[in-house]
Amino acid sequence: MQNDGLTVLILSTTAFFACLTGFIIYFVVLYRNRQIANKREQEQLIATFQQELLKTQLEVQEQTLNYISTEIHDNITQVLSFVKLTLAGVAAGAEGEKKQKLTETRELVAQTITDLRDLSKSLSFEHINSLGLRRTIEMEVERINKSGLLKVSFLTDGEVYSLGEQRELVLFRIFQETLNNTLKHAGAKHFKITLQYHPDLFNLTLEDDGSGFSADNLENKTGSGLRNMENRAALIGGVAKIISTPGKGCCVAVVLNPLKQQFYTDGGTHPNRIS
């Protein structure tokens, strides 16, 4: 009787521990599989981000080269042609006229040198790295205001901090694309840029008083650039909101938490990899 009891005792205990051990082994195997799947997923995300970042860099470069090309063609070449014509006419004129023409020519050459100096600054694609987002935007604002195409106001709120090279590049590209859209399509007179630096929140707001557009535009081809902004903002861990109604301008706002680490930006540390 006692032996039977002992057998039952041993059997039930063994069965119990076998189940428990089985569960733990099953969990370990399952966990390992999840680790592998997770690693693949993260690698895919890194690759997508790197591709998008490269695309952004190329777009920024293209935009800069376009600007330089336009400046050389529309401004510098014109001024230098004028200088050439003026100098050609100097020999034929009277002494007083000669002096005046030479003074005018010297002023024009000085202006061209200043323009070329400004242009050479734009040639540097490393602006964002060295100057940071705020200063780079500030330089763009100076340029646009000088051109007279648009009246741009720029406000900064809070103590400026770095968001990291990659995040700032993407934000600059969003700014550049919005400004481009405003110049090309909006017919706006004013453009307002606001940068808000709070300890746990960064906000980039871009507003114009142009013609605006309806929400339907976001669905069709016109909206692909706008959707691109939303996707890029998401890649750096932010949220882009585009608000516009016909006749009431457009507002693009990008909000992100600077404390939230996006593992594939700024260093590319794996989120689940413990060093």
Partner 1 sequence: MIIGLTIYYVLLLLIFALGIARFKKLAIPYKILSFYVGTTLLLELLSYICARKYQNNLPVEHISSYSEFIFNALIFYVLLKSALIKKIAKISIAAITVFFIINSIWLQPFLHSFPSNAIIVSEITLVIFSLLVFKQMLQYPLQVNITSQSVFWYNTAILFYSTTVFLNFGLTNYVIKHHLNNATYYNCRVILNMIFYILLGIAIFIEDKKITAHNAE
Question: Closest approach of Cβ 260 to partner 1, in Å?
Answer: 12
Which CB atom, from 86 or from 269, has the smaller least distance to partner 1? Answer: 269
- From candidates 11, 25, 38, 85, binder to partner 1 by CB under 8 A: 38
Q: How far apart are CA 18 and CA 168, in angstroms?
A: 56
Alpha helices in the chain (DSSP H): 2-71, 77-90, 95-122, 127-147, 165-181, 224-235
Taking CB under 8 A as the rule, does residue 16 contact partner 1?
Answer: yes
Taking CB under 8 A as the rule, does residue 2 contact partner 1?
Answer: yes
The answer to whether 245 and 212 have CB atoms below 8 angstroms apart is yes
- From candidates 20, 113, 116, 201, binder to partner 1 by CB under 8 A: 20
**AA identity, residue 101:** K
Which CB atom, from 20 or from 47, has the smaller least distance to partner 1? Answer: 20
Q: How far apart are CA 88 and CA 217, in angstroms?
A: 54
Which CB atom, from 94 or from 274, has the smaller least distance to partner 1? Answer: 274
Q: Of 131, 178, 135, 179, which is closest to residue 156 (Cα–Cα)?
A: 135
Question: Closest approach of Cβ 34 to partner 1, in Å?
Answer: 4
Strands 250-256 and 238-244: antiparallel
Which of these segments, 10-18, 47-55, 76-84, 114-122, binds partner 1 (CB under 8 A)?
10-18
- From candidates 14, 35, 222, 231, binder to partner 1 by CB under 8 A: 35
Six-digit token pair at 46? 């890194």
Neighbours of 178 (CB within 10 A): 26
Q: How far apart are CA 115 and CA 143, in angstroms?
A: 11
Taking CB under 8 A as the rule, does residue 185 contact partner 1?
Answer: no
Which CB atom, from 42 or from 147, has the smaller least distance to partner 1? Answer: 42
- From candidates 11, 18, 28, 239, binder to partner 1 by CB under 8 A: 28
Contact footprint for partner 1 (CB under 8 A): 1-2, 5-6, 8-9, 12-13, 16, 20, 23-24, 27-28, 30-32, 34-35, 38-39, 270, 272-275
